[in-house]
Structure 1
């Protein structure tokens, strides 16, 4: 009798353990991570099966060196505040799981419509023909294909590429004259390295 009771309890515990393990890998999860190349922080919130919203704030680094016959050598390095909101749909969860690949921490491929806003400081020519370095808002929207891999070591890799439309805010100089406005299609692409902060899975 005692052995039968022990066997029943063991069977129940095993079933619960298997169920809990399966529950951990049947869907995506919330993730908080810190990015390195473009310093910032991001939070991904699960909103439905294989779907999430990803909000990120970071400093977009841009720089360059050039030469002008009138101005000589030019160089610049900017840290531009940027905010991004993405809706992510992870489309290959089951396929990766069936192949025995890591799906924990949303280590999956995705499609992501996005909205992004940045405030860059760049050189612009004002109405007097002089260079100005005032910040202006740039808005962008579009969609990307991407992949995210959050490894057990806490290293995070996120890469994407797609098609977007950029709307650059009109610049107004001290005299109230608008001197620059630029709207165009472009191909957004990013490679992001970071560290995820959740408990290990």
Structure 2
């Protein structure tokens, strides 16, 4: 009997040691963002990559110049939808150093696509027009980003990402920076 217990204890020790080496992303997690109000869900697709889907609102600032050379600055809160493929490249190293990797706390590289709706989209929505997605100023962006994501106290989500994207409206193409900072609640 002592041999059986000894073998079971050794097996559990080996298994738990092996399990600690298996740094991997969470299967599914939900978050609510406060700075840019919205909700997101992140699905684990491999042990180190995820798909993130986000719907919410984004603070925006822009300027335009009229025919007389007068510059006008505009502020807006616009609805967005965002999708990302994230590759977390340092989960194992963070775990080996004894750092938190829960709720995908790590650094990542992302391929992201975002669609920014404009105020005229909202006006069309209220007017029940048939084709809501024809506004020339709606912007779709695809780009690459580097990001850092941390979760503290098992609920406080902090995220930062920066990169470069290629944006397109119906009439214009632009290269623009990608910059995002989020504070939220992770479930």
State which of 107, 115, 120 in structure 1 corresponds to 2:105.
Answer: 107
Write out per-residue CA displacement over residues 152-173 of structure 1, whole angstroms, 9 at most, x where no aligned residue.
241101101111101023xxxx
Q: Mean Cα displacement is larger for which, 148-157 or 134-143?
A: 134-143
SS in 1 for 2:181: strand
Write out per-residue CA displacement over residues 47-76 of structure 1, whole angstroms, 9 at most, x where no aligned residue.
1120110000011122479998x7x99664
Any conservation in 2 of the 1:120–1:135 contact (CA below 8 Å)?
no
Rounded to whole Å, the distance in 2 between the matches of 1:22 and 1:184 is 45
Q: What is aligned with 1:79?
A: 77
Q: What is aligned with 1:175?
A: none
Q: What is aligned with 1:28?
A: 25
Is 1:11 aligned to 2:9, yes or no? yes
Question: How has the CA–CA distance of structure 1 residues 58 and 135 changed in structure 2, closer, same or farther, with 3 Å as cutoff?
Answer: farther
Q: Write 1 or 2 for the structure with the bigger share of helix.
A: 2
Indicate the RMSD between aligned Cα atoms, in angstroms.
3.4
Q: What is aligned with 1:138?
A: 139
Name structure 2 gaps, 5 residues minimum: 121-134
When the two structures are superposed, what TM-score results if normalisation uses the length of structure 2? 0.76
Rounded to whole Å, the distance in 1 between the matches of 2:87 and 2:39 is 21
Question: How has the CA–CA distance of structure 1 residues 116 and 21 changed in structure 2, closer, same or farther, with 3 Å as cutoff?
Answer: same
Q: What is aligned with 1:176?
A: none
Any conservation in 2 of the 1:119–1:135 contact (CA below 8 Å)?
no
Name structure 1 gaps, 5 residues minimum: 123-133, 170-180
Rounded to whole Å, the distance in 2 between the matches of 1:38 and 1:185 is 22
Q: CA deviation at 1:93?
A: 1.3
Rounded to whole Å, the distance in 2 between the matches of 1:84 and 1:117 is 6
When the two structures are superposed, what TM-score results if normalisation uses the length of structure 1? 0.71
Question: How has the CA–CA distance of structure 1 residues 85 and 95 changed in structure 2, closer, same or farther, with 3 Å as cutoff?
Answer: same
Rounded to whole Å, the distance in 2 between the matches of 1:193 and 1:163 is 22
Query: How many residues in Structure 1 have an aligned counterpart in Structure 2?
Result: 172
Q: CA deviation at 1:94?
A: 1.5
